[in-house]
Amino acid sequence: MPEPEFGIAAIYRIIKKTGAERVGDDAAHELRSVLEEIGEMIARQAVEFSSHAGRNTVKASDITLAVKTLKL
């Protein structure tokens, strides 16, 4: 199993910031997994956009377009 990209403490903070008083370990781990999947989908699409534009560099505009395209 690959090492997660996001630290679990940050995930707990995100959930708590939205108003949760307590966060179950399973909830934090599940959110981390989902966020990593979504992040990879966005990144993959953004890489395609930058490549199509003839660039090796992914720009913020590629990310924004990827999010809009994926309707996230």
CA distance 25 to 7: 13
| Domain count for the chain | 1
> Would residue 17 count as lying in a domain?
yes
Provide the 8-state DSSP code for 19.
T
> Would residue 42 count as lying in a domain?
yes
How does residue 1 score in pLDDT terms, banded at 50, 70 and 90? Answer: low
Give pLDDT tens digits for 21-42.
999 999 999 999 999 999 999 9
The confidence score (pLDDT) of residue 55 equals: 97
Tell me how far CA of residue 27 lies from CA of 3, 39, 46, in angstroms. 18, 18, 28
> Would residue 2 count as lying in a domain?
no
Structural domain of 27: 8-70
CATH of the domain at 63: 1.10.20.10
Q: Where are the alpha helices (DSSP H) in the chain?
A: 8-17, 25-52, 60-70
pLDDT, average across residues 10-22: 97
> Would residue 3 count as lying in a domain?
no
